[in-house]
Amino acid sequence: MGLVKELWQAAVALRGSIEPAEYKRFVLPFIFLRILSIRQEKHRPGAVPVPKKARWSELLAHAEDADIKLRLDDALEALEKAYPDPLRGMLPRIYATSNVDRHIVTRLFHLFSCDAFDNGDGEDLLGRIYQYFIGEFASSEGKRGGEYFTPTTIVELLVAMLEPTRGIVYDPCCGSGGMFVQSDVFAKHRGRLMFFGQESKEFTYRLCRVNLFIHGLGGDIRLGNTYSEDRHPQLKADYILSNPPFNDGSKGREGWGADQLSEDDPRLVIAGQKMPLSPRNANPMWMMHFLYHLKEGGTAGFVMAAGELSNNQTGRLEVRRTLVEADFVDCVVQLSAQLFANTQIPCTLWFLSKARTGGRESRKRTGEILFIDGRGMGALIPGSRKQKQLSPEEITRIAATYQEFRRKGRPQEVPGFARVASLQEVRDQGYALTPGRYVGAANLEDAEEFEERLPRLTAQLEQELDKAAALDARLRVLVKELRHGE
């Protein structure tokens, strides 16, 4: 990753006062254009003919010209016209009308023209650079960046646990498409996976479409709000991999839009039971959405805020209890805090499955749930003081434990790490799914999130302050009475 990081640092040095959210719109198309040109020059399988005005060599020859920003816009327009199906509307022309100094554009051309890309793996290197840059831009944007990027090791863990090899992969909040790209890597680019997704933010939607194009992947990616505008209403997927926004609707008065859903929305039914909605938190809605879009024999793996493991607010306990009683909950993995750049709260991975009765590649595991406590895993990313990442060995350990549970039987119980619990045990725990309650971890405190704990603690503090004020007032009265009695 040495060269990748050097390129990132060099690109950042050119940024000047441009905000990261804006700068990424200018930098990422350079990598896109470079990849397409290398594929054509090297006659790679799946390479697409690049219009002359969009070829890297042509643009580089004019990199010092005063009209280079206009030439860039023309190059992107030529690509959209050449490939209207995957790229129409995906490459907005922003350079000529921007305030970005043309000398920055010139230097970016020289930066991405380094000799390293002329080697045999130049195309793969640029693909990694594209993914890396997306991740770094997300980190620099903080919470906003989390809307379109899931940390790489989280994606790798989800994919390693689900093992998508053939069929439909669906992500209803697909961000920049990282789940699709990693699934294709796992499947060794055999072309046996079909990708379907939805994204509510227009820029992120374009980013995903271009990312898939760069990696030679097709996909049916649609723009729209997944809650109220399910763009794939009839889709049933073999695999669902997703990182929905944490606790969407928990802040502000508007909520997440529960009032926009129809009373007869089929997603609100689990095992024949109509579920109540939690208007101030969309987490249960995401779980119901995933379950609805799973085909028989399919499995969903997704990231969820840790507080959802034990929260008993209206609509949240009911959904969790019904998922357990209907025997859809396959595995719960609790991870450490600091794995995301945009939040310090811990997260969990949930696995809901419609393959628990067994099949050709899995055993019958009804009435059982695998709990894994990975809170002790992860180390700070080199150069970072606040963000962690999982190691390849940790990813392998968690994934192997889940595969053993799915295929061979109960994995060996490891106190503090992994244990299979019965549904009755979960009932006895009030349907709390915190792994620490089952694996014997030393710290059994529920993973209630700070955002959810703060209002409760604030209310308690206010009550105690009121009591203190009342006692203080009473004490003053008593002191005054004593003085008058002297």
Report the pLDDT value the prediction gives residue 375, as an integer from 0 to 100.
94
Cα distances (angstroms) measured from residue 104 to each of 17, 98, 112: 12, 12, 12
d(CA 31, CA 12): 15
User: What are the beta bridge partners of residue 370?
Assistant: 331, 420
Segments of 127-186 assigned E as strands: 167-171
State both tokens at 358.
């067994």
Contact assessment for residue 279 and residue 258, using Cβ atoms and an 8 Å cutoff: yes
Q: What is the pTM of this model?
A: 0.84
Q: Distance (Å, rounded) from C-alpha 404 to C-alpha 268?
A: 32
Identify whether the C-beta of residue 323 lies closer than 8 Å to the C-beta of residue 329: yes
Q: How far apart are CA 463 and CA 170, in angstroms?
A: 47
Give per-residue pLDDT as tens, 233-273.
999 999 999 999 888 876 655 678 888 899 899 999 999 99
- Where does 42-67 have alpha helices with state H? 56-61
Distance CA 175, CA 132 (A): 15
Residue ranges of the chain with per-residue pLDDT less than 70: 1, 45-46, 119-123, 142-148, 250-254, 342, 441-459, 462, 485-486
Q: Say if residues 284 and 278 touch (Cβ distance below 8 Å).
A: yes
Q: Hey, what are 389's tokens? A: 């990442």
Cα distances (Å, whole numbers) of residue 250 to 92, 174, 255, 347: 34, 21, 6, 16
- Please say whether the beta carbons of 118 and 235 come within 8 A: no
Q: Are 160 and 399 in contact (CB under 8 A)?
A: yes
* Residue 221, token pair as written in the block: 């990616």
Beta bridge partners of 352: 300, 329
Residue 274 tokens, joined: 């109509």
CB 311 within 8 A of CB 351: no
Contact 357, 366 (CB under 8 A): yes
Q: What is the DSSP string of 368-437?
A: EEEEEEETT--EEPTT-SS-EE--HHHHHHHHHHHHHHHHTSSPPPBTTTEEEEEHHHHHHTTT---THH
Place of tokens 């995301």: 340
C-alpha 439/C-alpha 413 separation (Å) is 8
What is the Cα Rg of the chain in Å? 26
pLDDT at position 453, please?
60
Q: For residues 465 and 461, what is the distance between their CA atoms, to the nearest angstrom? A: 6
